[in-house]
Each structure stands twice: as C-alpha cells, then as structure tokens.
Amino acid sequence: METPEKFDLASASITDEQQAKLKALFPEIFTEGGKVDFERLKLTLGGTVDTGKERYGMNWPGKADCFKTIQRPSMATLVPARSESVNFDTTENLIIEGDNLEVLKLLQKSYLGRVKMIYIDPPYNTGNDFIYPDNFSESLETYLRYTGQVDAEGRKFSSNTEADGRYHSKWLSMMYPRLFLARNLLREDGVVMCSISDVELPSLRRLMDEIFGEENFLANFVWVNEGNIDNASKIKCNHEYVVAYAKNEPLIQPPPVIDPNIPKDSKLYREYIENTLVKNGPGNPESSVVLPVGFPTNFECGTIQPKPNFWPKLSAPVTVKDFKTQNEVAVSSGWSSKEIFVEFIKNDFKPVLDTKLQETTMFLSETGAVMAKKKRSEFQSHVLTILRGMGTVQASSSMLAELGIDFPYPKPTELLEYLVSVGSSDDSIVMDFFAGSGSMAHAVLNLNRKSGNRRFILVQLPQPIENPKFANIAALAIGRVTSVITKLNDDDAITRRPDEDRGFKVLKLESSNFKAWNADLPKDAEKLGDQMEMHIDHIETGRTAEDILFELLLKSGFPLSTRIETLTLAGKTVYSIAEGAMLICLDNELNDAVIKEIAARKPERVVCLDAGFAGNDQLKTNTVQTFKSKGVTSFRTV
C-alpha cells in the first residue's frame, strides 16, 4: 500500500546543508554510506590541507558545544498574534517574540538567502546586560522555562560577570551559533553590521573573521556617541563601533551615499560639491530667481518652510505635489551660474549645456536647496568610517518619551537610517535579531517615508522589565512601532504613498502545534501506551487552524508574508498558498470529493492532517494515486 510522506516538523538541518555543499564541490570524497572520507579529501586538496597541531585560529572553552547547538534542529513554531499586529493580512514586516537562536533556526528554510542586511546590537558583555543559560545547553525547553511557559523548574538565566571564569567564553558561545545561522539568511550581496564596544571588539572581529572570512571585512565604523561619555573609565570614552562584513565582498557595490560629516575643507567634500551642487560665484554675490509653479523636486509631496540663515533663502513656503511645486517662490542665493539657471527655467526645465557643469537637471530638495545633477553621474561616492552627529541615546530616549515609552539606551534612528542606507537597497529585507526597543523598524519606516519599500524582520527575547506599560522588552518594541506607525499615518494622511507598508505581523515562539513522539522515554508498556493515547489527537490543546497553517508555511519554506487565500472546495476549507503553489486542508473528515477538487487545481504540493483520513486506508491510498495523476510532486500528512 502506497502512503503519503510524513511532514517534517523540524527546522532545516544545518549538517545536511553543509554536506550538500561539500558534495556539490567534491562528490569523490563521499563513501558509499554517504560519509566524508577525509583521506580522499586530503588527496583532492593536495598540499593545501593543514595537518599540523599548531595553527592560527580562535578557540575557547565551549566552542565545540556551539557546533552541537547549531546542528540541533528546532521543533518549535511561530504562532501569529493578530491582536498585537498592524495590517496583519497585507504587511510583509515581522516582529517576532522569542529566543533569537531558535527563531534563526526556524527561518532557515523560509528566508535562506533572502536578507540584504542584518544589523544587530547584542549585549556588550559589560557585566549586567547578559541573559544566557548557565549550562550552555540552549534549547526550546530552556526558553519555555525561562518565559514561564512550562511548570518544571527552569534553567537560570543571569548576567555575565567578570568574576565568572568564562567571562569572554560565554559571550562567544552565545554569539557564534547566532552569527553562523544569520550568515545563511543573507543574500550573496548581503552585509551584516554589529554594534559593539571596546570590551568585546577584538573577540567580535576574530569571530566574524572565522564565520564570514577575513577577506569579507568591509569596515569598522566608529560612532561618536556625543553626550554619552563613559565616566567610569580612566580615559573617557565617547564612542562605540559598528563592525561590517559582507557575505561575498566582490559582489558589494559602492553605496550611493556620502558621509554627511565630511569636513567642509576636505578634498573629498570639494569634489562632491563640484560634481553635484550648484556652485556659488566669486565673492558669493546674492542673486534671485523665481521658481514657477511646476518646478521639479526630488520628493513627491510635502511643504518646504523657509529657514533663517539658510542658503538659498525662500521667500515663502513651497507646497509640493507629484514631484512639482504648486506655488511660485523667489529663491535668493549666490549663483555662479545664474544665467544658466534662468536659461534652464526658460527652456521648460530641459537640460542646458554648460561648460563647467556639463549637462544638468535642476530641482528643489526637501531642505529648500536648489540642486543640480549631471546627466552622467559617475562621480565617486564615498562612505567614511567616522560617524558624528548621528543622534545620541539621550535624544533617542527623549524621543521615545514623547511616544509615551520609557527605555534606556536605545540606538538613535539617525544612526540606523544611515547604516541601512549604506547596507541595503530600496526594496530589500533588513533584519535585526537583537531588536531591543525596535529602533530598526523605526529607522526603516522613516526611510521608506522618503523612498523605497524595505521590509523589516525584528526578533526580541521577551525579557521582563520594570515598566508600568509593558511586561517585557518585546512588548515594548511592539508598542513603539505601533506608535510610530500611528504618528506617521496622522502626519501623512494625504501624502502617504499607496505602496508604503506601514504594518507588521507579530509572531511568538512556541512549542510545535503537534505533539512530538518522545523516543527517549522508557520502552515499557505503560509509557508507550500513554504516548499512543496522546497521539490519537496529536494537536496541542488551544491551537487554532491559523497557528497550524503558519507552522506548515514556515517549515515548507514559504516566507511568513506569503499570500494565503481561503477556499471552499466540496464544502471543506482549503488554504491556497502562494497563488496555488501549495494547498493545505486541515479538515478532520476528508472525502473523495474534496481530494478530487484539490487535485483538479494541480498544485505542486499538498498537505493534509493524517487525522483527516480517520483510519480510512483505502481513501489514503487512492489520494496518493489521484495526486500523482495530476502532477502533484509532494503530498504529505501531518
């Protein structure tokens, strides 16, 4: 009797993936039993194999356990929380509450090679900010106990103090598996950026050299955190770092931005001015031109207000709609090419040839400055590694206070906006799996307001906090992003772009919706009987059809933003995934009619509950044959 395959409820096997990569490169090194023959590998690689006992590298107590942690698949799931979400059915943004190690494992199938930029702000290991299980054996069970979701006595999570003999080792053991799994999620042209302080900067560099390869090091940004001087140290420190690595450095394109903090007397700044901005003439003589209605702008809609002591000077506020001014305004400045500027206007805003500026297009920027861009824009763009004037944690805390949120040391959105502009593209996924108060989501929403439609994925442990409004940090992040979206929508009630994604799905880490068979229990009749009775109804109590649907979606490799359509076929509810690529039926009473209607739609994959066949082996066998005849490549039951 031919039966359907069982649905695999485990996350992607990292070991299998690594072996597959090795087999694709060196099939000759595998034995008949599928094992790696290291002697053949040595012969294949010739003299490049290092067999010596002494070698350059990084090691610490517990490193071997990191690989066991990476290789252990997750049996967890992500359960949707509609009531805490914004625009749940249409948004592609995600905020995930849970331990980021388990979440990274669960995302391996759905987001493998999809993320353009990962930014993280992990614990700096300063002695009082570090949550980690004492015995190194992180697992879903550890997380569930920590969050009070199981009754048994849990493992203790605590700060990592210098009195601990494994002060740096514990931090490295926490970071290694997370960065290893994160690398898999990056696109080939992806980048990872990690905030850090002096305490663990050397360790982080060596760690990322090992995981990403030192040839993929991009930069070590120094963020001057003005106003937040560390007074505890003998030499006062007012900076932190952002370490950046590429997944594949040759594929990284120079970012089309220039550091706003470049000294104005530097050669780099002068070159930028010469290539992009309308220049002032000798002696900076003031001159004025009138911009007519319809003058082009570099932003879609809004209002430019005159600013005191700001050049050029505007005679009145300018209203902008559809990238064009809606009212006349006089602009006063010291134009070196006033005649060319006037000629440009008279020429119906068509490019005017000038020997100094070459072919140009002029427009009004959001600041009120009149800009000129070459038609040929091959000027060299630059990113510098000293970052000043990009916000402070004090200012960020004050900004959050205006939203009614109290949180210490949030990363400034100005800093994150800059890093995202360097590390991502307008239509890409940005991830932060140490999300804290949600600064990354705030930064992405701000950038999208100007241009682009980036999507964010945040992951945050529900670490308890003393806050009258929020029980834990994850809830605080959700509250912050909700407030930011509300404020943006109120401010942009008329001008918001229709394609702008201002929402997010909230998902929470839980044990699987399906009770797993425990092979470790004693093999006596009583224990086996208990397990068999439990599996008569193997779905966890209280789980909904949507909970189950999202687990099947996640473990089938579909992004959590995939479109889901609810169909009614032969009186049964059937979920259509990705416009019919996969059909899922969770009905407990399947029949021949619904099977035929599902097959008639010719999906690539079908998943049904095993309970739906209710012991009807003949229906199950016929279903396998029916799906085969219609070209269904995968039929599985769970």
- The three state secondary structure string of 126-178 is CCCCCCEECCCCCCHHHHHHHCCCCCCCCCCEECCCCCCCCHHHHHHHHHHHH
**What CA–CA distance (Å, rounded) separates 623 from 590?**
10
CB 340 within 8 A of CB 359: no
The pLDDT assigned to 316 comes to 86
Q: Which residues are CB-neighbours of 361 under 8 A, at least 6 positions away?
A: 296, 349, 351, 372, 373, 375
Helix (H, G, I), strand (E, B) or coil at 232: coil
Checking DSSP bridges between strand 94-97 and strand 505-511, what pairing results, if any?
parallel
Last residue of a domain, one of 340, 356, 374: 374
Q: Does residue 308 form part of some domain?
A: yes
Q: Which residues are CB-neighbours of 402 under 8 A, at least 6 positions away?
A: none
The pLDDT assigned to 529 comes to 56
**What CA–CA distance (Å, rounded) separates 306 from 304?**
7
Helix (H, G, I), strand (E, B) or coil at 270: helix
The pLDDT assigned to 344 comes to 56
Q: Does residue 83 form part of some domain?
A: no
The pLDDT assigned to 299 comes to 75
Residue 611 is which amino acid?
A
Residue 120 sits in the same domain as residue 231: yes
Q: Does residue 512 form part of some domain?
A: no
Residue 628 sits in the same domain as residue 483: no
* Closest C-alpha to 607, from 103, 2, 46, 5: 5
CB 634 within 8 A of CB 1: no
Residue 347 sits in the same domain as residue 456: no
Q: Which residues are CB-neighbours of 626 under 8 A, at least 6 positions away?
A: 595, 596, 599
Residue 569 sits in the same domain as residue 427: no
Residue 547 sits in the same domain as residue 427: no
**What CA–CA distance (Å, rounded) separates 192 from 245?**
5
Q: Does residue 143 form part of some domain?
A: no
Q: Which residues are CB-neighbours of 271 under 8 A, at least 6 positions away?
A: 379, 380
The pLDDT assigned to 137 comes to 52
Give long-range contacts, CB 8 A cutoff, 24+ apart: 322-326: 323/296, 323/297, 323/298, 323/299, 324/293, 324/294, 324/295, 324/296, 324/297, 325/291, 325/292, 325/293, 325/294, 325/295, 325/297, 325/364, 326/293
Q: List beta partners, residue 1.
A: none
Q: Does residue 528 form part of some domain?
A: no
Residue 287 is which amino acid?
S
The pLDDT assigned to 154 comes to 47
Last residue of a domain, one of 71, 87, 122: 71
What is the count of structural domains for the chain?
4
Q: Does residue 525 form part of some domain?
A: no
Please state, in angstroms and as integers, the Cα–Cα distance from residue 587 to each residue in 219, 580, 617, following that order.
54, 18, 17
Residue 99 sits in the same domain as residue 64: no
Residue 242 sits in the same domain as residue 354: no
**What CA–CA distance (Å, rounded) separates 280 from 250?**
39
Q: Does residue 84 form part of some domain?
A: no
Q: Does residue 139 form part of some domain?
A: no
Sheet containing 324-325: order of strands: 302-304, 318-321, 324-325
Residue 607 sits in the same domain as residue 582: yes
3-state secondary structure 534-555: HHHHCECCCCCHHHHHHHHHHH
Residue 364 belongs to domain spanning: 267-374
Residue 608 sits in the same domain as residue 492: no
Q: Vertex 250, ends 18 and 104: CA angle to 5°? A: 40
Residue 116 sits in the same domain as residue 242: yes
The pLDDT assigned to 130 comes to 56
**What CA–CA distance (Å, rounded) separates 611 from 513?**
14
Last residue of a domain, one of 374, 407, 429: 374
Residue 565 sits in the same domain as residue 463: no
**pLDDT single digits (tens) 427-457:** 999 999 999 999 999 999 999 998 899 999 9
Residue 341 sits in the same domain as residue 408: no
Residue 34 is which amino acid?
G
- Here the CATH number for the domain that contains residue 470 is 3.40.50.150
Mark 272-292 as b/e (b = at least 16 C-beta within 10 Å).
beebeebebeeeeeebebebe
The pLDDT assigned to 595 comes to 96
To the nearest 10 degrees (0 to 180), the angle between helices 473-491 and 439-450 is: 20
Mean pLDDT per 10-residue segment, the chain (638 residues): 82 83 81 78 72 76 89 93 96 96 95 97 78 54 66 54 67 93 97 95 95 95 78 78 96 72 62 46 50 76 77 80 82 56 56 47 69 46 76 84 84 93 93 96 95 95 89 95 95 85 97 75 57 64 94 95 95 96 95 96 95 89 94 93
